[in-house]
Chain A
Amino acid sequence: MKRATRLLELVLIAGWSYTALAQTPAAVPPATAAATAAPITSKDLNSISAPDAKARANGDPDGSLTGNVTDIPVADPITDKTPNAKGLTIGDIANQVGQNKIAVNFVWTLITGFLVMFMQAGFAIVETGLTRAKNANHTMMMNFMVYGVGMLAYWLIGFAIQEGGVGAVANLGNSPVLSREFVVTLFGKPFGLWGQGGYFLTHGGAYDVFVMVLFLFQMVFMDTALTIVTGAAAERWKYAAFIVSSFVMGAFTYPLFANWAWGGGWLANLGANFGLGHGYADFAGSGVVHAVGGITGLALSMIVGPRIGKFLRDGKPVAMPGHDLMIVLTGCFILAFGWFGFNPGSTLGASGNGCLRISSVAVNTMLAGMAGSFGAIFYMWLRYGKPDASMTGNGLLAGLVAITAPSGFVNTVGACILGLIAGVLVCFSVEFIEKVMKIDDPVGAISVHGTCGIWGVISVGLFADGKSNYGGSWNGVNGSVTGLFYGDPGQLVAQLMGVATLIGFVFSFSFVLNWIIDLVIGQRVCERNELEGLDLPEMGALCYPEFEMKASSMGAQ
């Protein structure tokens, strides 16, 4: 018996080896199978039998009886009163198949949106861990309330500006309800500037299941951009000013750029109108989400100024370590997990043209994050002699931020290269912003999200390999997004145009809005409150009361 088993194993191994060696691509042309397939007739439909009712009554432990022909809604069912009805038709089946496709895409988009929502927790603990204990409650509460403030602004105003003119989205059911874009003509071409439908999610037919899915998914993206700013201005931002500033950003700043890039606006149409590749391509938001957040953080950091003690009189920066590295790195992991919603979810579906590329998007995401952490850890190790923990965490985030825009357009080698560059770039950027610009960014948000977000946008124009296919076109231009290294310099120009808009327009817009808020209510806390720590004066409660008591009893700050 043993000998027979052994013989069988050898035969199987030999057979497998031969098959592996003899594999050739596209051995069976799919067209042949399609040509011989016969169309379905009513006879076929009538021959479909439902599981026996008696068998079903005994339960279905293995799941083989649940989900069958009886679950398909029939438009004209045969009953005692309608014996001549059509019964199950091909139309009924086609409708069910269509609804199944959209249902899969709804579930996919909603669940990935839930993952992105959980990133708020990651941002909250990363930022709080990187600030001092005396400001922990204040920093945490900014991250907590930015979720609600941003959502309110986006529901009232922002969503309509961003998505009011997006038009039909094939993966989510082709609903036409969001099709009102304010357009001006410039250089003889239409320039979409903002959407005009969907206010309160009821205006203009927006009380629609497709709109609800889109709102949830886009809302959590918008909130990600808002929470980036709280890190850049942490430890000295007046709480009331934070609420007003976040509301304005969720209502106007973010939605405007998002409309231009994703809502059918002028940046997306640079390809169709001016022949620049496929127009500005930002798959999941390196520019729309991260760079907008980072650049607004830069504007705000300038306005509020550095923390007391951050720079000496000669301008030399002083290190102000965060109070809990453990929650910083835990937060980085939570963010990396959430990124599996951020990037693969941006297909807005798992069923449809090109949607199966979600696997490629997910792998690109994890690889770029890995490469980013390697880039940062090696840079810090070589330059300062130690593998710095907080910068390694920031390196991971930098890689993830950078891959966000190109995740749907590049291959794994491109993902690793651009992630590695992002990991090194974030270290250079932190040093430049602190040592050259003399700007205080306690958590490195400007570098991680601003600098690496811009790098991600540019990298689409370099590394996009022209192999992605999302329904045969992108932004209304046939073919696949292709970067400079694969033959299309026009795509790089479209990406640089996006960067110029981020740096030139978004910065100016954010700066002016926050400058006005500064003039009206003041953005910065008073010196006394800052020195005491913002937990008590601003929030009325300490985050770590016992810890604070011990520290003060020992005479420490």
Chain B
Amino acid sequence: MIITGVAVTLLGFLISVASLSIASSVGGRMVLVLVGLAVSLGGIIGVLNRAYVSKAIWRR
């Protein structure tokens, strides 16, 4: 889960960088950067953090 979380977080960054090539308009780039941001946040909050919380010290 940890490796998956890091991979998803990095994927978001790559989507944002790719927007420079995929889109040429400011609006198109903004949408893609926001999609990349959402994916990265999903990787941190939805995958990585969930993995750590599931085995947190207070659950024992």
Tell me the A residues contacting B by CB distance below 8 Å: 187, 270, 274, 276, 298, 302-303, 305-306, 308, 310-313, 315, 437-439, 489-490, 492-493, 496-497, 499-501, 503-505, 507-508, 511-512, 515
Contacts and interface: CB of A to CB of B under 8 A. Distances in A.
Nearest to A515: B2
A312 B49 contact: no
B49 A439 contact: yes
Contacts of B26: 276, 489-490, 493
B37 A503 contact: yes
Contact of B6 (A305, A439, A512): A512
Given A276-B26, A496-B33, A508 B13 contact: yes
Contacts of A315: 58
A439 B20 CA distance: 34
Contact of B9 (A438, A490, A503): A503
Contacts of B52: 302-303, 305
Nearest to A503: B40
A133 to B, nearest CB: 22
B57 A306 contact: yes
Contacts of A298: 44
Given A306-B56, A497-B33, A501-B13, 6 more contacts: A302-B52, A313-B59, A438-B53, A493-B30, A503-B40, A504-B13
What class of interface size applies to chain B in its complex with A?
Answer: 20 to 34
Contacts of B13: 500-501, 503-505, 508
A438 B57 CA distance: 11
Contacts of B45: 437
B56 to A, nearest CB: 6
Contact of A504 (B9, B27, B49): B9
B40 A511 contact: no
B48 A492 contact: no
Contact of B16 (A303, A312, A313, A504): A504
B16 A501 contact: yes
Given A187-B20, A508-B6, A500 B57 contact: no
Interface of B: 2, 6, 9-14, 16-17, 19-21, 26-27, 29-30, 33-34, 36-37, 40-41, 44-45, 48-49, 52-53, 56-59
A310 B58 CA distance: 8
A228 to B, nearest CB: 18
A489 B12 contact: no
A14 to B, nearest CB: 56
Nearest to A500: B16
A466 B31 CA distance: 24
B59 A511 contact: no
A46 B52 CA distance: 79
Contacts of A501: 13, 16
A500 B12 contact: yes
Contacts of A270: 20
Contacts of A493: 26, 29-30, 33
Given A187-B20, A306-B58, A496-B34, A503 B29 contact: no
8 nearest A-B pairs in the assembled complex, by CB-CB distance: A504-B13, A500-B16, A311-B58, A504-B40, A187-B21, A504-B12, A503-B40, A496-B33
Contacts of B16: 496-497, 500-501, 504
A312 B20 contact: no
A109 to B, nearest CB: 33
Given A306-B56, A308-B57, A499 B48 contact: no
Given A312-B58, A504-B10, A492 B49 contact: no
Contacts of A187: 20-21
B41 to A, nearest CB: 6
A447 to B, nearest CB: 14
A489 B30 CA distance: 9
Contacts of B59: 313
Contact of B56 (A438, A507, A512, A515): A438
Nearest to A490: B26
Residue of A438, A497, A499, A511 contacting most chain B CB atoms (<10 Å): A497
A248 B18 CA distance: 28
Contact of A276 (B29, B34, B57, B58): B29
